[in-house]
Structures are given as structure tokens and as C-alpha cells.
Structure 1
Amino acid sequence: MAKPTARPTAGGYSVQSLGTGAVSPHERTDFWSEHVASYQTRMDFRYAESESFRGEMTRQRSGTYQLVTWECDPVEYVRTPGLVRQDPEDGYRFLLPFSGELLLRQDDREARLAPGAGSLLTLSAPCRVLNGQSVSGAILSIPAQEIDGPLNLKAPLATGIDLTTGLGRVVNTMILSAYQEREDLTTAQFDAVLDRVVELLCMLATGDDRPDAPGHLTEVEAMVRRHVRDHAADPGLTGTSMARALGWSLRQIQLALQRVGTTPRDLIREERLRLVRDRLRCADCENLTITDLAYASGFSSASALSTAFRQRFGVSPREMRGAAAG
């Protein structure tokens, strides 16, 4: 059986490509099922044809995100109630076809996706994805907390997200560019791009990009996020200092962030943790101790950083640095 080709890059980011071209005809569907399940989660696979099946895919992966682009013959992927119980998976997937049509079913809802549209679905509930004839596309794996927190709910299937204009087109372009530049990205760069993609997806899923959305609060939220990103390392950054710097009341800022399920304090902590994560993976910051990183990223102490970091990422800063170095 043919082995996939893989190229690890700096800091744990890797690019892997595989295809059925060099696989014996009678092994092709098993080959495809095995790798799709290992990249995503356990599913049932229903193939229109077996020995003539053809498929290729490329996976880009870091410790936080995974982006898989694929092209294959017709196949139906089924996440049954039994598989949901046996193999829990609380993450999300954002699907967008480049060609052909995908049919998605979840929670008694159905979405037909053609190029220019995308959908967000959860794998913690049963679902079906029918890959039609001559379909190619991308599927972005997103940790549950990146969606549940900003949307302040367990997100249902968000269907028919328009990727042809406005914010949707920006998202589509960013995902496509992340794939096209796959060989030249570092872990920090890959994660930074997809952090922004997920942030924009949350706005699309809640309709915050619509002209009739509460425009003022949306504007406040966008400006606050930009301000926090630019000043996360400032130990004096608070909701009050943001309000003073941006010319809004603290109440306006609190209301804008409440709409997307967060607070000034939580937003500041999240951006600081992402800043530390990126610096832990950056070769230029290898000489900084964890204490140095804590103070340089706005935390009051190394212990405060370590506690918050483990709660957010499941490992300590030292452990993540060791994994990146390995």
C-alpha cells in the first residue's frame, strides 16, 4: 500500500499529501477510509464505486488547527449516533467546496453546498456528508472552545455561509491562501492565519456581518479586538483603559463583547495566551525564560501564566516549548 508523503516544518507544523493513485484497486476505499478517519473522526463510509474509487488529499496541521484539502469520487460520510457515543468528538468542521456539490444533513437540517458557500457543523452530533461527483474542497478542523466561547452556545449547523462577497470572501481567500502557501508557513504563522479565520467565521455564523446587524456594537467589538491584539503585552490593559483609549464607555464595550459571549478580562487573557503560545514556538524567543515571557506578555507572574496557559491549552508553557523544540 502506498504511504503518504509528509514534510514537517518548524515548530511542529506539518504538511502531508496522499492519494489512491499508487494503491491497488481493491485497497483504495480501505486506504481512503483509514486516512479520513485518522484525520477527522470515526465514521461510516458508503462508496458509489469501490475498485475504481479515486481520491487525493493534503493535510496541514499544527497543535491547534488542521486544514485538509481534497478531491475524490462520490462517497457518503456518516457520523451515526452510535459512533458519537463510542468516539466523542466535540470539535467543529468548516466545509467549503471548490468544485462540485456537497450535501450536509444534521439536526433535521439540510444544506447543499456549491462553490462560494460554506457550512459549519459539529461532530458531537450525528451528521451525514454526501460528497458528489467531481468534488474538491477544504475542511477546517476547529477546537470546540474557539466556537462555543465566542458564540456563547453549542453551535448548530450554520448553513449556506456566503463566501462570494464581503467578509465571506475574505474568509474564503484566507483559507485558500493558507493552502497555497502551505510549504512556506511556520507553526506561528499557520495558527495566526486560522485564528483570524475562526474569529471571522464566528461573525459570519452569528450574522454580525449583515448590514442590518447592530452596527454600532459590531464596530465597537471589532475595534476592541484590534486594540487588545495591539496592546496585549501592556500589563496595564483593562476594560477601563480600553474605554478611555477608544473613547467609548466601559458599558458599551461590555455590551459589545457580551453579544459574542466574552468579557474585556477574558478577551485580554485569551490574546495574551495566544501571544505567549506564538512566542514559545518562535526561534527568536528561545532565550527568554518562562518568567521573562510572562512579564513580556502582560502577566503578573510566571505562575499566573502557567495556570491560565494549562487551563487554555492543556499543557504548561514549558511543555509546549519542549514539544516545539522536539
Structure 2
Amino acid sequence: MVSLPAANYLVETRSTDAVEPRERTDFWTEHVGSYQSRMGYRYGRTDDFRGETVRQRTAAYQLVRFRSDEIEYSRTARQVREDPDGDYRLLLPLSGEIILRQDGHEALLTPGTGTLVSFASPFQCLQDASAQAFVLTIPAREVDGPLNRKSPLATALDLSRGLGRVVRSMLDGLYAEREDLTDSQFNAVSDRVVELVCMLATGDDRPDGARHLTDVETVVRRHVRENAADPGLTGTSMARALGWSLRQIQLTLQHAGTTPRDLIREERLRLVRERLRRGDCEHLTITDLAYASGFSSASALSTAFRQRFGVSPREMRKGVRGT
């Protein structure tokens, strides 16, 4: 079953029920391999393996909700070399247990926990027969760029409370509304999920003082997101609007690996990217988008956009129209 709510947004459901029992392991290996990088598969049973995936994707993100019988996925050093993939997967169990081993760490994942898995290094992932989970594919630049760091970011994330619970509810919402979303809506929610995951990856298990920094950071990020299009937005104007000192904001963002200037530029670039993907913004020129998103000129936008996303705004718009 395939439906296309929008040109760039795909929803696809696949199940082993579509083939004979003796063909199901081959079907699953080929199916998962069609949208994930090269891995090894070891099945708990080969006579009548059962599994199902519901896949939502755009050119930017992919969310898969899956269930299956017992299986072990693995990625070897050779597979990493021969099939490079630097992107992350946010793995979030909904039922059952999943054991992940990577970079000398082992995490037992159950509902209420999650982890960021890097396909850039070998791993083993073992799931029991009752496991169901979400897997969100996140481009490496969305994690490494904003946080200015490389994997591994975290062994386990607490998704049972606070920001973690918000992440879980947002993924639930993306899945529940899968048939009624547009590409820009799916991407916008995924952007916010990634933002929260990055905060979680650097904010878990810290003392009260550090948690206070996280609270301040949350407010600062929200203010920047809501006012990114304002060309007058600066660290100083932000501090004045929030009633804090500029130094306090600088220290908070320094703790998160960024600066007021970089955060503002990042949010403006996200805003431009979202508008480039929206059909109702096709009439806007790149210059219009630059000024409407807080940039001083089209050239300033194009330079920053290419540095961040590897393509120019015109190239991204052309790619979206061509899908």
C-alpha cells in the first residue's frame, strides 16, 4: 500500500504477510536493505519470520515504525568502509527489548529509553520477538553541525519524562497523522525532534546548575526560533527581550557548543530551507527569501546556506521541484 499526500512525502507499508513463509527472511533482508545501508541479518527463526514496517520519508528525513520476530542486525568495519553512511538513527523501542552494542558500550533499550546509533562505526543490534520501535534517520550534519561534535553522543536517552517524553509524543504524532501530513509539515516536526534530541544528548544526568543552563537554553532557542526572521535579532537584543545579561546567554550557549550568532544563523537557515520546500513560497525569489528570513542579502544567504547544507538555495529549490 503506497499513498502520496504530497510530491515529496511518501508513506509506505510493507509486511512479510505478502509472501510465502519460506521466502520471508529473504523478503525482509531485501526490504530493509532497500532503505538502510548495508548490514548483516541473523534470524531467530527462518521457517516463518514475520515483520512489518510503516515508512514515512521525504528527501530530508525518514521515520520507520517496525515490528518483527527475533532478529540481530549488525554492521561490520568492512561494511562501514564499503558502504559509507555518516547519518544517525534515533532508535526508540515501543515494546519489548533491544540490546545495542557500539564503540565498546552496551545499552539495554526498553520503552521509555532511546539511543542515537551511528552507521559510521560497527554495531550489533539484537531485538527480541516482542519488539516494536521507531527508527528516525537523521542527517549527520543535523547533529554534528549544531553540536560541533562527532559520535558517539550518548549511550541512552531518557524518553520517559521532560523533553524526552516530548520527543516520544512528537514521533507518535508523526505516525498517527502520517496520511494527512505534507512534506513541509513532516520536515518541520522532524527538525524540532532533532533539536530536542541534541539537547537531550548533551543534557542528561547533569547537576542542578547544569539543568538550569538547559532551562535557559530552551528559552533562548525558542526565542530565536520565534524571531529568526527579524533582521535586528542579535545576542544583545535577545538578552534585553528575555531580561537576562548577554554574558549569561553567551555562557549558556557556550555550554551547548554554540554562540548567539551561530544559533541565529542556524535558525534562519532552517527557516529558509523550510520555505524552499513549501509550495506556497514558490513565488518568492531567493532575494525575497533572504530578506524575509533575516539575512542582509541574497549573497549572504547563499554563502551561509551552501556552507551548511552543501547546496545553494537555488539548487535545493530545483531539487524539490524535480522530485
TM-score normalised by the chain length of structure 1: 0.93
For residue 142 of structure 1, what is the aligned residue in structure 2? 138
Q: 1:172 and 2:168 equivalent?
A: yes
For residue 189 of structure 2, what is the aligned residue in structure 1? 193
For residue 265 of structure 2, what is the aligned residue in structure 1? 269
Q: 1:244 and 2:240 equivalent?
A: yes
Q: Cα offset for 1:8?
A: 2.5
For residue 230 of structure 1, what is the aligned residue in structure 2? 226
Change (3 A) 1:213 1:147: farther
Q: Cα offset for 1:210?
A: 5.3
RMSD: 1.8
**Percent of aligned pairs sharing the same letter:** 66
Q: Cα offset for 1:134?
A: 2.0
Q: Cα offset for 1:253?
A: 1.4
For residue 74 of structure 1, what is the aligned residue in structure 2? 70
For residue 43 of structure 1, what is the aligned residue in structure 2? 39
- The Cα offsets for residues 121-173 of structure 1, whole Å up to 9 and x where unpaired, read as 21111100012112111111111122223433213262332222222211111
Cα distance between partner residues in 2 of 1:11 and 1:263: 37
Gaps of 5+ in 2: none
For residue 8 of structure 2, what is the aligned residue in structure 1? 12
For residue 116 of structure 2, what is the aligned residue in structure 1? 120
User: Does the CA contact (< 8 Å) of 2:8 and 2:183 recur in 1?
Assistant: yes
Q: 1:214 and 2:205 equivalent?
A: no
Matches for 1:277-316 after TM superposition, within 5 Å: 277-316=273-312
Q: Cα offset for 1:82?
A: 0.9
Residue identity in the other structure for 1:102: I
Change (3 A) 1:300 1:11: farther
User: Does the CA contact (< 8 Å) of 2:39 and 2:73 recur in 1?
Assistant: yes
For residue 84 of structure 1, what is the aligned residue in structure 2? 80
Q: Cα offset for 1:13?
A: 1.6
Q: 1:98 and 2:76 equivalent?
A: no
Residue identity in the other structure for 2:216: V
Larger CA deviation: 246-255 vs 205-214: 205-214
User: Does the CA contact (< 8 Å) of 1:149 and 1:262 recur in 2?
Assistant: no
Gaps of 5+ in 1: none
Cα distance between partner residues in 2 of 1:203 and 1:267: 13
Q: Cα offset for 1:56?
A: 0.6
Cα distance between partner residues in 1 of 2:149 and 2:318: 34
User: Does the CA contact (< 8 Å) of 2:97 and 2:131 recur in 1?
Assistant: yes
Q: SS where residue 33 of structure 2 aligns?
A: helix
Cα distance between partner residues in 2 of 1:319 and 1:292: 16
Residue identity in the other structure for 2:313: P
Q: 1:159 and 2:155 equivalent?
A: yes
User: Does the CA contact (< 8 Å) of 2:203 and 2:214 recur in 1?
Assistant: no
Larger CA deviation: 240-249 vs 89-98: 240-249
Q: Cα offset for 1:211?
A: 6.2
User: Does the CA contact (< 8 Å) of 2:153 and 2:201 recur in 1?
Assistant: no
Change (3 A) 1:43 1:213: farther
Cα distance between partner residues in 2 of 1:194 and 1:236: 28
Larger CA deviation: 208-217 vs 97-106: 208-217
Q: Cα offset for 1:96?
A: 1.2
Residue identity in the other structure for 1:51: D
- The Cα offsets for residues 188-232 of structure 1, whole Å up to 9 and x where unpaired, read as 211111111112112222225756252442232112111111111
Q: Cα offset for 1:43?
A: 0.5
TM-score normalised by the chain length of structure 2: 0.94
Cα distance between partner residues in 2 of 1:215 and 1:157: 18
Change (3 A) 1:57 1:140: same
Change (3 A) 1:96 1:212: same
Larger CA deviation: 188-197 vs 73-82: 188-197
User: Does the CA contact (< 8 Å) of 2:203 and 2:211 recur in 1?
Assistant: no
Aligned partner of 1:260 among 237, 256, 263: 256
Question: How many matched pairs?
Answer: 322
Larger CA deviation: 45-54 vs 123-132: 45-54
Cα distance between partner residues in 1 of 2:134 and 2:33: 16
- The Cα offsets for residues 216-253 of structure 1, whole Å up to 9 and x where unpaired, read as 42232112111111111111212222122222222221
Cα distance between partner residues in 2 of 1:296 and 1:245: 21
Cα distance between partner residues in 2 of 1:256 and 1:72: 43
Residue identity in the other structure for 1:261: G
Larger CA deviation: 51-60 vs 140-149: 140-149
